[in-house]
Chains A and B, each alone.
Chain A
């Protein structure tokens, strides 16, 4: 089956492809979560942190997915502004609440992990603060979508804001290298290779895969919902216009 990029730009084609893809994605997500959760509780405890290190398997993938969601939003924003891709706006709007939820998980699990390890739920260090800013950017973008009624105008405004906010993503990633932080530096994606033992690394990768698959599945479903919402909106406007013109063409009621 040959599919070009432009084929995906047709919402009808997207809906057909999504309908075929979603059962497989749900299956893959369930399998990845089962594998990841098995690994999470099968992995050995950390020699310093003990059982508390198991929070890593839900905290770190949430952070990665939050950044992935924003990167996808920025790409969609570019697609929306430069190429006027019909699905880019929908993809951007659908990703924002999902990204916000993953960022929320990252912040809460991080705070709960921080209390026994650092003695506090929160410190204003560069990593924690930049992730909080990411969460606030997500909330701001969701609010901006709600404030402008016309979806195409809202899409343009949100796209510009999304691209401006993308500056925060490298800050989140490299904050632990650029500043002295209480948060530990990167231990998986490093030039020198991963600093985590294999028995603890594979469950982390499995959970990251599970989070990513869940995000992809929900994102496709949310784009489908957005396409339906826009169709319903257009239909309601058309029906209202047809109703008005029918009313206008009706002969005036005769007085009896």
Chain B
């Protein structure tokens, strides 16, 4: 059993959760902005032209 295994695991877990959350937040925001632009400009439904 690794000494202080609990704090080591907690530190890596917190880091992983925050980094994953950060990545997810940026992707979710991107989808939300795409959806808003598509709603405002329905003729620009092609996502390459939209951004």
Q: Which residues of A pack against B, CB within 8 Å? A: 15, 19, 50-52, 54-55, 58-59, 62, 97-98, 101, 104-105, 108-109, 112-113, 115-116, 214, 218, 221-222, 224-225, 228-229, 231-232, 235-236, 239
Contacts and interface: CB of A to CB of B under 8 A. Distances in A.
A221 B25 CA distance: 11
Nearest to B10: A112
A228 B22 contact: no
Contacts of A116: 3-4, 7
Contact of A235 (B25, B30, B37, B51): B37
A55 B11 contact: yes
14 contacts: A51-B3, A52-B7, A62-B15, A97-B22, A101-B18, A101-B19, A116-B4, A214-B19, A221-B26, A224-B30, A224-B51, A228-B30, A232-B36, A232-B40
Interface in B1-51: 2-5, 7-8, 10-12, 14-15, 18-19, 21-23, 25-27, 29-30, 33-34, 36-37, 40-41, 51
Nearest to A117: B4
Given A235-B40, A235-B41, A51 B8 contact: yes
Given A225-B26, A229-B33, A231-B37, A112 B19 contact: no
A147 to B, nearest CB: 19
A225 B35 CA distance: 12
Nearest to A233: B36
A236 B39 CA distance: 10
A235 B38 CA distance: 11
B37 A108 contact: no
